[in-house]
Structure 1
Amino acid sequence: AADDPTVAPDERRRGRAMADGLAMRVLSRAWQMLLKALEEVALAPNAMMAAEMAVIRLTHVADLPSPEELLRRLHDAPPPPSPAPRGGGDAASRAPVARGPALPQGGGGGGGPQAALAGAAPLLAAYPAFPHVVDLIRERREARLLWEVESCLRLVRYAPGRIAFAPTPDAPSDLASRLSQRLQQWTGARWAVSVEAGEGGAPTLAETRVQAADALKAEAAAHPLVVAALAAFPGAELRTVHPRTAEAAPEQTGVTEAPEEDDDWDPFEEG
């Protein structure tokens, strides 16, 4: 590239200065990190986030010393002081040695993640089941994310802070990453959202609502009054069935007037 006639002289000069200042080990380390980043970008649900993390790692490693410098520092470092002899000796040798603050000890090296989970437990206590997560999305009025969670997500496993789902064929590829980001932003706790390959998982919430509506419609169509009404009016059909609420009076029977359209209809309300 230094002999390429298409390269401007200023760019060629800056390139030579950069090449002279970089050791081969530094270039090899950066090359290995870039190769690893290519694999992560290809497999990540969100390629842009994976690429950004690779750039962040490269930026962080740029300030670290090279392996040669680390070896030189270890070689030039003064030897540690020898420990005081135990047992006999004068009083000065038996004087207590000042100690620094004690480091926390944990079994098996798992104290970090366990402490993080313990700290996040109070934040996740408000979401013991998956419907509570859906209610949170509805409260935040995220229309697109709400539709995707209700129509494209087949739940496989759920625990507060962990969601595993099988996507439908029309699910967006970045659904897991966006759902994890939003939940962490809203709750202040980390959420692990993973995608399970295969055809497993429970029906989507939209499919569950359709199944419930079909079952209610079939039950209403078998009622003697409905059967008689359909027989009395040839060509009539049962289109919509509204479940009877607890507020309805027991003595109210017959046909009720259809409710008027509400100008303040909210798409985030259930029903």
Structure 2
Amino acid sequence: MAEDDLTLEPDVPERDPNTADMFGAPPAAPPPPADGAAYTVIARKYRPRTFEDLFGQEAMVRTLKNAFASGRIAHAFMLTGVRGVGKTTTARLLARALNYETDTVHEPSLDLTQDGRHCRAIIEGRHMDVLELDAASRTKVDEMRELLDGVRYAPVEARYKVYIIDEVHMLSTAAFNALLKTLEEPPPHAKFIFATTEIRKVPVTILSRCQRFDLRRVEPEVIVKNLEMIAEREGARVEAEGLMLIARAAEGSVRDAQSLLDQAIVQAEAGQTVTAATIRDMLGLADRAQTISLFEQVMRGEAGGAIETFRTLYGYGADPGQVMLDLLEHSHGASVAKAVGPQALTLPKEQAARLAAIGAAVSAGVLSRIWQLLLKAYDEVRRAPDPAAAADMALIRLAYAADLPGPEEALRRLQSGESPAGGPGPSGGGGGGGGGMHQSGGASAVARQAAPPRPAQADAAPTLQRFEDVIALIESKRDIALRLDVERFVRPISFRPGAIEFEPAPGAPANLIQRLASKLREWTGQPWLVAAQGGGGAESLWERQKREEREVLAQVEQDPFVRQVMEAFPGAEILGVRTLAAPEPAPDAGDEADSEDED
């Protein structure tokens, strides 16, 4: 066969070092397909061709280079990582490297810049000595034994017989056991490359016989560079903000990002620019500037405004769960900007400045509290039958919590004679409290609003003289959870203004003492000592009510008429006793006569 007959692909132009990205600079995109030819998706067209293209996996490449250079090549490799980070691609590159051979190179090599004798067949999946299998379709032990029967035979053409098993965690226990025997005593001409997204499901006995590589998620900034290169080679125009949206949506998966870019390119006519708004609609995302405005409203305690903004976003198609994720991201961004500075945020300068302003205006404790509440809100929205309603309730809760001061701030206010929750300023405007903010000037001008000192006598603090007054105060403040816990689990021992001693009933919440003391201090403006003792307490309000109900029931059961009814209807039960209101007295005859005379 003539040497010219071996040419399988057109010449590829040299790489431009100025366009290097996370995957280096792959070969130039092939010419447009002829009419009727199948379209090759971007994720396949720009798949890495060499180890140098695997930017972001430097640790793995460095280890492999050292192993190949010293001849210490493992007989089995385990590649793990989330979807789309390049596990299967790395496995194919390893298969090429193990069987790399040219006229001048006759040993394994990681330098794959030029195709070797077996490279093209391995890339196209048709080399008889490289078997690529999906464990999900060969889970049974018989199938694994049938596969392993061929391991003992030497390769036909290449240096090694390579088995690539994808999603290896899908194998059954018996299949793993069959594979284990081969891994314990592998023939010198066989190599195994396993890939999995669920490394915890792989038995330790298998892992201990493999060289493991954890492929990392790729950072959004690196993915954006790769997308920019691909868009340029495809002749597509995509706004930079849109590429960042795609990179963030991919969550570290290069393949997902490239697939989303493929989808985004067709959102505009040929020659037109794909805008960030178009990509946002495609991904079902809300406008980031609007979600930052929503976050600012929440942090200022503006529940009504936050709900209106959310409903506007929802009307434009934003997913409630995604909005909660955006708020989580903004909470994280404000916290990072507070600790490091706005330069640490991978956002446009204006948006980064707004989040940095929020971080500067509130304490780290408030941001941490908002983060925890948003995590809970996201879970609620995902599981709620009506996600939009759940989002409304979450925003109300967040706005209320953001406006509350932290424990240290509340204690400082008490010591200075202020109201723990803050109050109106000299002009009568609403106060935001230690955790609240107000906005002045532009949208990004956010600052702390501290309540001005006020005389202690100006607060109409309630006076509590009996334990019953405590119950009444809790009820007037509409703290339903605290009222139910106090009524059910508090068995009073002693009471005096500023101090409560009680015996906790079985099942009392561990934080009941702290909650009761904190609320009484907040509502009365003075510290309270709340202590629990091991015994000696009276009945709790709930226990007293139940006892009185039982006593009334026993009294009713002894009534002769009721006993007659119970005997007449065997099996009947008294489910409850209800006291009827006394009827209004009827007017006497004299009053009626007077009325008639008046008529």
Provide TM-score, normalisation by structure 2.
0.21
Please identify the structure whose Cα radius of gyration is greater: 2
Question: Greater RCO between the two (CA within 8 Å, min separation 6)?
Answer: 1
